[in-house]
Amino acid sequence: MNTDSSNSAQTPGANFMVPNSAKQKLDTVKLLEQGPNPAILYSIVDLGTHFNKNFNKSSRLIKLIFEFPLLKQLFNEGDTVARPTVVSQEYTFMLGETSNLKKLIDGMEGRVLQPNEYKNGWNLGQYLGRAFIVHIVNKPNKKDPSIIYNNVGSVQGLTDNLRKVYAFPWEEVTRTNPLVTFFIDPKGECFRTETFANLPKYYRETIMKSDEATAYASAGGVFAKYEDFKKAEDTPAPTQAQAATPQAAPPVQRKPQVGPIKRMLVTDFTYEQYLQSGWTDELLVEHGKMEIIQPPVEEMSSLDQVDDNHFM
């Protein structure tokens, strides 16, 4: 009789391994080639204020995320649809003559930004959704040099001349990922939004360690979770009979509206917060965050005593 305890057949449960629920990265994932690559800036994420031990000071950080449409690939086991390669870069959220963020903006603008131009700040949102030439620099991991990472070097704003200089198949340079912005507001309302809940886990965890998020949590603030919004999506739609049954509700007295109606299509921030961050109505419409509805002409003429725009 075999009494070898190493024999799994004689050791109940020896091979009862619990599978890892995390997606396993494929070995076939490629890095972007070092040098110029066409990319689209699709996300800007405010990471909040963090203390840097190396410089012995706190700084507010921001993450810019680019997608590279010409290198689409499968990243994890189980993936069936190729997605564009993504590279992000972290910057100090402050403009200065020698700051890395200033150098980035100079490249995007194709000129050197003057101090008088950004004395009241500079709107990064204007670059969202735009294509650029991103010069990739490949750097090894400090702990394991055999691991190489793509890093964003310099960035050039795309011009007709650059399209000719770099003979890329420009018709294929189209965006796949949705445009996403996350900005930490003074009251911390951003932490309760669906945008925060849908950020990648690493970003959420980093943001929740920031000074702003820590103060928000200390005051009793609650952070939104993906499940909070998923439950609402999973709620079954009413049946035809239910939908046809009117629900009793008290009458609502509404003031008649006149002029263009501005309707927000996103819930991450309010219209006023976007304006305070440097957005304009034109940018909001262009990036799909708002729509402007023109009411019937007769409605406008019947109430010409009201001449201001209305926002919904």
Spatial separation of the C-alpha atoms in residues 184 and 47, rounded to whole Å: 8
> Alpha helices of the chain — where are they, by DSSP H?
100-109, 160-165, 194-197, 201-208, 211-218, 226-234, 240-244, 271-276, 281-286, 297-302
Check residue 14 and give its pLDDT: 60
pLDDT in tens, 283-301: 778 777 788 876 554 443 3
Q: What confidence tens digit (pLDDT) does each residue in 208-263 have? A: 999 999 999 999 999 999 888 876 555 555 554 444 444 444 555 555 545 678 87
Determine the Cα angle at 272 with ends 267 and 274, to 5°: 65
CB 147 within 8 A of CB 141: yes
204 pLDDT above the threshold of 80: yes
Calpha distance 269→292 (Å, rounded): 17
Residues contacting residue 174 through CB under 8 Å, at least 6 positions apart: 69
Convert the pLDDT of each residue in 93-113 to its tens digit: 999 899 999 999 999 999 999
Q: In what order do the strands lie in the sheet with 290-293?
A: 290-293, 261-264, 310-311
Contact predicate 295/259, CB 8 Å: yes
Least confident of 9-23, 126-140, 295-309: 295-309
Q: Cα separation of 174 and 171, whole Å?
A: 7
Burial 76-94 (b: 16+ CB within 10 A, else e): eeeeeeebbbbbebebbbe
Dihedrals phi, psi of 124, to nearest 5 degrees:
-70, -25
Distance CA 36, CA 198 (A): 31
- pLDDT attached to residue 304: 37
DSSP 244-304: HSPPP------PPP-S-EEEE---SS-HHHHHHTT--HHHHHHTTSEEEEPPPHHHHHHTT
| CA–CA dist 82, 101 (Å, integer) | 31
Does the structure show a pLDDT above 90 at 81? yes
Please tell me the least confidently modeled range out of 156-165, 199-208, 251-260: 251-260
